[in-house]
Amino acid sequence: MTFAKPILAVLAFLLLVSCDLTKQVQQIVDESNAAVISTQLGDGEKSAEQILKFIEENPDLKGVNQRLLIRLSAVYLADKKPTLARAMLDQAYAAGNVDHLGERDQMLLALRDPLTWLHTLGGSMSATEMSEAPGKIQTIRNYRKNTILNDQLMAFVLEKELFILRSMTNGFRDEQSTEQVQALRDTAQTTLTAYTNFWSDDVRRGHVNTLRRAAPANGSCVKDPGQLDLKKLEAEALPAVSILRHVSVTYCEVELTLNAYGIQLNRPYRFSDAADSNMAAAQADLMKPLETPDWMNCVNVAKKKFNCSPTPTQD
């Protein structure tokens, strides 16, 4: 699932409006889809202006406008404007009933706070961001636990949860108490377990193996499907497009998380509280790698570096 996926649900609602309006909205949606994909070329602003103009000229089309505001938030996120994106999502949420929206749009509104917040993060979290991160993760976690999501949306929210966790781990600093480090580890382990559990069934695990076989020989992390050598695969072995969208997730998110935690907690880490006889054992446990399921077969191939190779599934 990506923000660039067209808002197809808007078309059904458009049966209630005139043919001319239908064509106008479809053009806006099509052009905003292109803008999400290619905002680096500078055409995101034009799409945003079109959406805002349509909403201003058609205030009575509340359902259509609500969906277009969500589309506009995607344009702003792609254009690296998370504050504007959040404002559009807040406006869409305040427009009223969201039950008529598709599950994707409902998810975007429910998680508008953490999803726009994570787009404000830099390379390493500040102290303020570190204090905010656990709450953002918990918001995502509560939503995925209490909402029935299709596989693509579940993969999306787990990806975002793991991204915040890894940023949080990268930003972790020395001179924290044993209790604080334990809280980080508990959060990390819970998220990593949920993530690996999601990809652990036979079908998804097969996709992971398929994508890894098509990955570059140097073992670098794959960021988009274009980096895969799909010619290595038989046509029937190609995962669905919905899985290819998550190629970066299926390929190396586990390694990146394990490595981030290992680098931060094995330098050696300097705790703020004394390592007395009671604390020493607890602190030693915190230095251990995060746990992964057996099917991931994660091996520490070099100091502070892991390589995970999912075991083949049974035919």
Taking only the tens place, the pLDDT of each residue in 156-174 is 899 899 989 988 888 888 8
In this prediction, residue 223 carries a pLDDT of 65
Mean pLDDT of 85-110: 92
Percent of the chain with pLDDT over 90: 24
> Three-class SS of residue 307?
strand
> What is the Cα Rg of the chain in Å?
22
Using pLDDT thresholds of 50, 70 and 90, give the confidence band for residue 7.
very low
Question: CB–CB of 84/44 below 8 Å?
Answer: no
Residue 13 pLDDT exceeds 90: no
Across 160-169, 182-191, 195-204, 218-227, least confident range: 218-227
State pTM to two decimals. 0.79
H-type helices in the chain, by residue range?
A: 9-13, 19-38, 44-57, 62-78, 82-94, 103-110, 112-117, 127-146, 151-170, 178-198, 202-213, 241-244, 247-265, 277-286
Q: In this predicted model, which residue has the larger pLDDT, 137 or 39?
A: 137
Using pLDDT thresholds of 50, 70 and 90, give the confidence band for residue 110.
very high
In this prediction, residue 240 carries a pLDDT of 65
Hey, how many other C-beta atoms are within 10 angstroms of the C-beta on 62?
14
Across 110-119, 183-192, 261-270, least confident range: 261-270
Check residue 176 and report its DSSP letter. Answer: B
Q: What is the pLDDT of residues 222-249, one digit of tens each?
A: 666 667 776 766 666 666 666 666 665 5
Q: Which residues of 261-287 are buried (b: 16+ CB within 10 A; e: fewer)?
A: bbebbeeebebeeeeeeeeeeebeebe
Using pLDDT thresholds of 50, 70 and 90, give the confidence band for residue 56.
confident
